[in-house]
Amino acid sequence: MELTKKTHACVRLEKDGRTLVIDPGGFSEEDAALGAEAILITHEHADHFDESRLRTAMENDPAAQIWTLRSVAEKITAAFPGRVHTVGEGDTFTAAGFEVEVHGQLHAVIHPDLPRITNVGFLLDQSVFHPGDALTVPGRPVDTLLLPVHAPWNKVGEVVDYLREVRPRRALDVHDSLLRDHARPIYDGMLASLGGTDHERLAPGERTAA
């Protein structure tokens, strides 16, 4: 499996010549989902879900399909009839040759005055976990955790504690486009020294084995 980091929360995963993309949102590249056979969307926020990026991918490949939670599916089923699958916590399915488990139910709390929306995380091939906008613990060993390192709903101490609880072999930063360059060494240092696991940061477009 090969992972390509895209801008912000989006990643591309390739295996055996097949491609799966998670969260090609409005902060990601315009072609972030292009060429993907399967697209997974964790929740409805615009930095994770952008219909124009989905349309680019779906029109390019009439066989491409989307898996997402109900709140997103309701927005796009009419646009892509028969190609959108609604999933929730505990579901399992196969997409582009990847075995996928669904974990989690709710977005992290941004502020008590804001209603919480739904959010799911995706565990691929019992190895790579993308939690979306939540600190969901999947309840099974994780090799590579895609770590939402910076967001309006988290702080670095919570991210460190999340790493310690999940205990992945390594963590790769996602949800990081709001983090200024001069702050990255601070985050890198704290996560590396306190998180208890190997921590890596990829620039958009960089690849790694996953």
Q: In angstroms, rounded to a whole number, what is the distance separating the alpha carbons of residues 171 and 32?
A: 22
Could you say which DSSP state residue 118 is in? B
Is the sign of the CA dihedral 159, 178, 173, 198 positive or negative?
A: negative
pLDDT, one tens digit per residue, over 130-156 is 999 999 999 999 999 999 999 999 999
**Torsion sign over Cα 132, 84, 74, 91:** negative
Residues 6+ apart with CB under 8 A from 186: none
Return d(Cα 210, Cα 189) in angstroms, integer: 23
* CA-based radius of gyration for the chain: 16
Q: Kindly give the pairing relationship between strand 170-174 and strand 144-148.
A: parallel
What domains appear along the chain, each with residue ranges and CATH number? 2-209 (3.60.15.10)
Q: 0.85 cut: is pTM over it? A: yes
Tens-digit pLDDT profile for the chain (210 aa)? 999 999 999 999 999 999 999 999 999 999 999 999 999 999 999 999 999 999 999 999 999 999 999 999 999 999 999 999 999 999 999 999 999 999 999 999 999 999 999 999 999 999 999 999 999 999 999 999 999 999 999 999 999 999 999 999 999 999 999 999 999 999 999 999 999 999 999 999 999 998
- Phi-psi label, residue 194: left if phi above 0, alpha if psi -120 to 50, beta otherwise: alpha
